Amino acid sequence: MKGRVLVAGFATRHVAQSAHRAGYTVYAVDHFCDQDLAWCTEDCLTFGDLAELPEKIAELAARHRVDALVVASGAEAVGTTIPLCGTPPHKVERFLDKLEIQRFFEGLDVPVPSLAGAGHYPVMVKPRRGAGGWRNAIARTEEELRRWEEAWPDVPYVAQALVDGIPSSVSCVADGRHARAIAVNRQILRGEGGSSHGFAGSVTPFSHPLAGEMIAAAERIAAASGCMGSVGIDFMAGEKPWAIEINPRFQATLDTVEMATGESVFGMHMDACRGVIPTAMPTARRVAVRRILFAERDMRLDVDLSALAPRIADIPWPGTEFEEGHALVSVYGCAETEAAACADLERNAETVRRLIKG
């Protein structure tokens, strides 16, 4: 084995699975501890609130000798005595605040939606902190903005001028000074309900006329950020590639990047933390799609979906209870074209739905 890593964050299955495939012994601290996380880890601790993370990390590290800590969403700023493979907390903190990200992009002179002045609508309203986009919302009037403020009282936010385009991202790896793009992705958003702008999946690769410009901008942004390891840059591909956010950690697109390229994102992350980045962007060999299915009602999942792996991931344990709208399971599709990959995904999703409905 290459080493013993502890992966910590709100949802770590994608990172732990990549690390396991890359030849590492893996331990995890995770909110869900789903079945397939257990399959690729030696030990896993669950937690409720993110405030419990440092204690849980220390508890797991006391049980097992680990060589490195690797963090996912929610654990970026956790400080521990375990050697960190990733962006140090004192550097990462800036990129956990969307107002600071705005200022960072403006300082680099990359296209970014401007902060909206008072009375200017429509706007995209986003909490200053948080990942996944599930609280993002478009406010077209003062009344809609007020309703958002009432729904999320005491949550600091930014309001950006609304720009048209296709939600997308560029996955990169960086060594603190240089960066290399490894994939361009189209993001799938939920598209309905109160979390319509929340992340719901990805397509890799994303073939778009602006892909080259997004790659160049992403590599410049990631290099200038000082981040190390896996770094993602979100864009809106519209009249120009609008930079939206920087994610100084592993992204939820990891699965489709690996499926499309056949390369190990975790391996590239660890190499980058040692100062080695790819000399060129990997070539996508196929099209990969991931879609998150959400609970359509409050429910208890009694069926065991594990036999459907590897066509699905984030596989709940039988007996898990879900509230309406919460993530249920991830479904994949993979083929030579996007249309065929989406058709493959829909067949797999329909199998999941049939099993759930009994």
pLDDT tens string 232-264 = 999 999 999 999 999 999 999 999 999 999 999
Q: Tokens representing 169?
A: 């991202």
Closest C-alpha among 25, 158, 5 to residue 68? 5
Task: Give residue 180's pLDDT.
Answer: 98
Q: What is the pTM of this model?
A: 0.96
Determine the pLDDT at residue 132: 85
**What is the arithmetic mean of pLDDT over 147-166?**
95
Task: Please give the span between the terminal C-alpha atoms of the chain, in angstroms, as a whole number.
Answer: 41
Its CATH architecture, for the domain 4-85, is 3-Layer(aba) Sandwich (3.40)
* CATH number at 105-161: 3.30.1490.20
Cβ burial 215-232 (10 Å sphere, 16+ → b, else e): bebbbbbbbbbbbbbbbb
**142 phi, psi to nearest 5 deg:** -60, -35
Per-residue pLDDT of 96-146, as tens digits, reads 999 999 999 999 999 999 999 888 999 999 999 988 888 999 999 999 999
Tens digit of pLDDT for each residue in 60-110? 999 999 999 999 999 999 988 899 999 999 999 999 999 999 999 999 999
Sequence ranges of the domains in the chain: 4-85, 105-161, 287-357
Look at residue 1 in the predicted model and tell me its pLDDT. Answer: 65
Q: Count the residues in the chain.
A: 358
Note if the bond before 111 is cis, omega within 30 degrees: no
Look at residues 214, 224, 209, 227 and name the one whose alpha carbon lies nearest to residue 183.
214
Class assignment of domain 287-357? alpha beta
Task: Please tell me the distance from the alpha carbon of residue 310 to that of residue 198, in angstroms, as a whole number.
Answer: 24
